[in-house]
């Protein structure tokens, strides 16, 4: 009889250890699953944010496409980039402001007597 009681205590101990191990494994598994779900929601939120940014870019591009497809824009490009004009118009090319200012700086006023002096003194 003594043998049976010690045996049942050992069996109960092993069952308890086995049950505790199973419970710990379940807890660890559930914790991992909850963590994966939480990170999944974070990824979904990030994807939604990127989707909104791309939708905004798409709207901007649609607006730009609408502007580019107008006849006014086509005429502007033809006039500015291709240097073309309508029939009967005259195209006048003006120098840039920076170029014109540079020319003014290069031309220096020299009095007439100085020019003669320089010519004769050589």
With 0-12 / 13-18 / 19 or more C-beta atoms within 10 angstroms meaning exposed / middle / buried, residue 70 is: exposed
d(CA 70, CA 77) in angstroms, rounded, equals 11
**Amino acid 20: pLDDT:** 94
pLDDT in tens, 65-97: 999 889 888 888 888 888 777 788 776 777 676
pLDDT in tens, 25-36: 999 999 999 999
């Amino acid at each position: 009889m003594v043998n049976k009681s010690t045996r049942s205590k050992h069996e109960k101990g092993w069952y308890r250890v086995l049950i505790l191990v199973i419970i710990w494994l379940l807890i660890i598994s559930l914790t991992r699953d909850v963590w994966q779900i939480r990170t999944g929601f974070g990824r979904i939120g990030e994807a939604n944010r990127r989707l909104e940014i791309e939708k905004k870019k798409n709207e901007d591009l649609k607006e730009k496409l609408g502007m580019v497809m107008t006849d006014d824009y086509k005429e502007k490009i033809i006039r500015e980039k291709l240097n073309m004009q309508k029939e009967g118009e005259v195209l006048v090319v003006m120098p840039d402001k920076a170029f014109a200012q540079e020319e003014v700086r290069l031309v220096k006023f020299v009095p007439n007597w100085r020019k003669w002096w320089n010519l004769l003194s050589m």
